[in-house]
Amino acid sequence: MRIEWPTVAMIGACYGVFVVAGLFIWPYAPVAALLVMAVCAALHSSLQHEVLHGHPTRKGWVNELLIAAMPLAPAYPYRRFKTLHLRHHHDERLTDPYDDPESYYLDGRAWRELSLPMRALLSANNTLVGRIVLGPALMVAGFLASEARLVAKGDRTVLTAWALHLAGFWIIAIVLTNGFGIPVWLYVLVSGYLGMSIIAVRTFCEHQAAGDPDHRTIIVERSPLSWMFLNNNLHLVHHKLPALAWYKTACGYANAACRMGGHEQWLCVQRLLGCVQTLWPDPQGTGGASSLSRARPSA
């Protein structure tokens, strides 16, 4: 059986540092411990993303067991993340507010139906600061509302995913309370939330609407957080070669595997404090919003 040992090592390191933070840092520096655990939660989210693409083995159940049996990121069940994220990989529909479950866009009609306070909130969320501070709360609220509707309709797949996730997080909760003496609520509100905020730094710059699907995904060539993102800052490479292991992504980019049509990178520095576009652009290029009829909840 093929085993990608760098990924296995990263999974082990993620859980190992989490344990070190709880056993050896928390008793002397609680704030530092929670911050280290936030980094672990963010890395765990990146590892979940790696695993759902078929790593580090060819056995799906082995991969799921490695990363989903004890979820450090409390908000998203692995199986739900996998289902929604693989749908996101239909590149011809990237950023579409209806067909891309990870899109932050709204069409014009949906935008006009929102209250002014909600428009202000979503506009704030479309800045980097807003995405870091408000983004996790808005994402979780929207995701849970969407999941609740599916469960209410009797979707057993969703219910099973949540049952497995909660069973796994119950193990983490026991470790936190009985092993480390850390209240679960404190871990969720501080480490869990900050972990999502860290991931939001990457996702803020990932995609922008464009007529050419190849121009909707970015490359950030150098990032001090690339190790935590498992090189997913080279995001166009990932979308073109989704089965490529994280530790081979940089080599894939260096070999110019994804430098297509002059699209080498989109710099995000100019958007760090400014708003990104909220409305889905008119496919005919008239400057209006598309006439799509209903909004699909984002995840």
Q: Which residues pair with 207 in a beta bridge?
A: 217
For residues 295 and 108, the answer to whether their CB atoms sit within 8 Å is: no
pLDDT band at 223 (very low <50, low <70, confident <90, very high): confident
The residues, ordered by sequence, that sit 6+ positions from 165 with a Cβ below 8 Å of its Cβ are: 68, 71, 76, 77, 78, 79, 80
pLDDT reported for residue 184: 98
pTM attached to this predicted model: 0.84
Question: What confidence score (pLDDT) does residue 115 get?
Answer: 93
The single-letter DSSP state of residue 263 is: B
Residue 265 pLDDT > 50: no
pLDDT for 23: 98
Least reliable range by pLDDT among 65-69, 95-99, 168-172, 265-269: 265-269
pLDDT tens for residues 121-158?
Answer: 999 999 999 999 999 999 999 999 999 999 999 999 99
